[in-house]
Amino acid sequence: MPMLPMLPRGSGLRKLTQVSFGGYNHNLYAGDGDIYDMHNMTGDYAPVLSPRSPRVLRAELARPNGIFSRDGLMYADGTDLYYGGELVGEVADSVKTFGEMGAYIVVLPDKAYYNVLTGEFGRVEASATSEDGGATFANGSIYGITAERNTLTVPGVDFNDHFKERDAVSISGCTVHPENNKTAIIREISGDGHSLIFYENAFVLDGTAEAPVAYTEPEAITVSRDMPDMDFLCSNENRLWGCKGDEIFASKLGDVFNWFSFDGLASDSWSVAVGSEGDFTGCVSFMGYPVFFKEGAIYKVFGTEPDNFSTSASFSTGLQAGSGGSLAIAGDILFYLSRNGVVSYTGGMPTQKYEAFGGELYTHGVAGSDRRKYYISMLDRNGAPHLFVYDTERGLWHREDASRVVGFAYCGEDLYMLRDDGGLWAVGNVKGQPDGGELERVEWSVEFADFSERAPEKKGVTKFYLRAEAEQGAEMEMWIRYDSVGAWERIWRHLATKKRSFTVPIVPRRADHFRLRISGAGDCKVFGITREMYTGSTARSLRGGH
C-alpha cells in the first residue's frame, strides 16, 4: 500500500519572507525572489509588486503610419494627415518621419510641412516650368537700381505662387547658355510675379561683356527649390538637421524651406560628408548639440554658424540600423537600441542597460518617453514584439506586453503610443479618462526565477502566505511548477476585495527547485510573500522524483 507523504517535524520548518520586489531579470543566474518574466507590470509602486495603470484608447486608425507632437498631436492614417484631431493634408501611404522647427512640422519622405499657427499645409519643395521658348534672361534692376544680367522672366508663371524672396532656387534646362543652369538666391520678385531678380551678373547673356543683350531659351526651363533626401530629422538651435547615407544637412537658420542657401552669411545652409564606414542610422538634439549616429560611431556637430561648424566623432557603441526610432530622452539621459542592446548616453561613452534581458538580442526598436520612463517596443530573434519600460528613478526594467509600436509622442502631459493594429493609446499614468468608456481591465502576471534556496538538498514547500490588496472584482491566482518539468499547477485563486493576508496551503512535495507564478486581472498589489519550507535529503522527491 503506498504511503502518504509525511511532513517533517515542526523544528524543520522555516519561513522565508519577501517584501521587496525588483524588476525584470531574464537571466539564468536570477535567484530566489527575482522576477524572471512578467506581463503588464510596473515599477510605479516599487518595491510593491503591481500591474501597470490602465491605458486609454484615444483613436483607432486604419493604416497607422506615424505619430508626432508639437503643441498638439499629429498622426498619419494612410494618406490622411491629422493634427489636433482634424484632417490637415494628404500624404503618401508610407511610414513617416517627422521633424519640427518653430511653428513648422516637416513630414518625410513626402517633404511636406504643416504650420501649427496658421494651419497652412504644403510642400517644402516647389518648382515652376516655362513653356518652350517662354523664359527670357535679361538685364534689369535690383532694389530700384539698374543692374545687368540678373533677371529671369517667364510671362506664363506667377513666381509668387511658388517662391519667396531669399529662396535658393535651382535653374535647369538651359541649352543656349548652359552656364545659367545653377543655384542662385532670389533677391526680389517683380510686382506682377513674372520675373525673378537676382544679384547683378548672376547670368550669361547674349552680346558682349560690355553690352549684354537679353535672350530667350528655346526649350522649357525649370526653376525649383529643393530639399535633400533625408532619412532622419531633428531640430537644434533654430535649424532643422537631417542625415542620409554618409551626409549631414542643416537648413538655413530659421527656414525649413531652404537647404542649399549659400550666401556667405551666418544664416546659410550647411552640409558635410563625414567619410566614415556605414550609413547614418538616426539623429537627435541632445545637450545643446545635434548628434548623429552610425552603428559604430557617434557624431556631434559643434559651432554656432556654417563658418565654424565642425563634427567630432566617437567610434563607440552607436545606434543599431533600423532602430532610429529608439532614440528618446528620459530623466535627462538619452537612451537608444544599439547592436548589443539598449544603452544610455550622457555625452561620453554609452553605458549598457541591457543586463536584465539575459542575452536576448532585440532589433527594430521604437521608443518614447514620458520624461521619467523610457518605453521601447522591440522584436526578439523570432520576430515577436515586446514592450519594455525603464524607470530612470528606480533603475528597473518592466515588461508590459507584446505591443508592436509604430511611434510614440508626448503631448499634454500624456505619452501616446500608436500600435501597428491602429490603436492610439494614452499610456502610463494617464491624466484624462476615456470619453464615455470604461478603463481597460489589465491582465497581469509575474513568474519568479527558480526557488532553490541556494541549497543542493531536496526541499519542500508546505504553504504560502500572501499579503495583498485588490480593487473589488479583481482576481488573483497562484501557480507552482517543480523541477522545470510538467505543467503549471494552480494552487490558489481568489476574488479579493481589500488588503489582507491569505494562507495558501499546498500538498507538500520535495524537489530540487520550484517556480512560482502569480497572475491576476484588475488593480492588485502584492506587499509580501512568505513561503514555509523544509529541507530534506538530496536523494529523491516524495512524489516519484529522482
Contact 335, 361 (CB under 8 A): no
pLDDT at 435: 66
Task: Please name the fold of domain 127-225.
Answer: Elongation Factor Tu (Ef-tu); domain 3 (2.40.30)
Query: In 3-state terms, the chain is what percent helix, strand and coil (to 5)?
Result: 5, 50, 50
DSSP string, 154-218: -TT--GGGT--TT-EEEEE---S-GGG-SEEE--EE-TTS-EEE-STT-S--EE-SSSEE-EEES
pTM: 0.92
C-beta pairs of 6-10 under 8 Å, 24+ apart in sequence = 7/462, 7/508, 7/534, 8/460, 8/534, 8/536
Q: In this predicted structure, what is the pLDDT of residue 460?
A: 79
Per the CB < 8 A criterion, the answer to whether 250 and 309 are in contact is yes
Backbone angles phi, psi at 205, to 5 degrees: -115, 175
Domain residue ranges of the chain, discontinuous segments joined by +: 10-52+444-535, 127-225
Cα separation of 233 and 250, whole Å?
Answer: 10
β pairing state of 475-482 and 514-521? antiparallel
* Per-residue pLDDT, 304: 95
How do the pLDDT tens digits run along the chain, 546 residues long? 333 344 444 446 888 889 999 999 999 998 888 999 999 999 999 999 999 999 999 999 999 999 999 999 999 999 999 999 999 999 999 999 999 999 999 999 999 999 999 999 999 999 999 999 999 999 999 999 999 999 999 999 999 999 999 999 999 999 999 999 999 999 999 999 999 999 999 999 999 999 999 999 999 999 999 999 999 999 999 999 999 999 999 999 999 999 999 999 999 999 999 999 999 999 999 999 999 999 999 999 999 999 999 999 999 999 999 999 999 999 999 999 999 999 999 999 999 999 999 999 999 999 999 999 999 999 999 999 999 999 999 999 999 999 999 999 999 999 999 999 999 999 999 987 766 567 899 999 999 999 877 666 777 788 888 888 888 889 999 999 988 888 999 999 988 666 677 788 777 678 888 899 999 999 999 999 998 888 765 444 444 443
Rounded Cα distance between 25 and 356, Å, is 5
Instruction: Supply the pLDDT for residue 446.
Output: 97
DSSP H/E element including 324: none
Report the DSSP beta bridge partners of residue 86.
Answer: 83
Map residue 494 onto helix, strand or coil: strand
Residue 234: other Cβ atoms inside 10 A: 21
Q: Reduce the DSSP state of residue 156 to 3 states and report it.
A: coil
How many residues comprise the chain? 546
Q: 528 is written with which cell numbers?
A: 509580501
Q: Hey, what's the cell of 34?
A: 527575482
Q: How many CB atoms lie within 10 A of CB 493?
A: 13
Assigned C-alpha cell, 260: 542649399
Judged by DSSP in three states, 289 sits in strand
Q: Which residues pair with 378 in a beta bridge?
A: 386
Grid cell for residue 371: 520624461
Which DSSP helix (H) or strand (E) runs through 22? Answer: none
Would you tell me which CATH number, out of the four given (3.40.190.10, 3.40.50.2300, 3.40.1410.10, 2.60.120.260), belongs to the domain 10-52+444-535? 2.60.120.260
Residue 494: the pLDDT is 87
Residue 24 DSSP code: B
CB 112 within 8 A of CB 124: yes
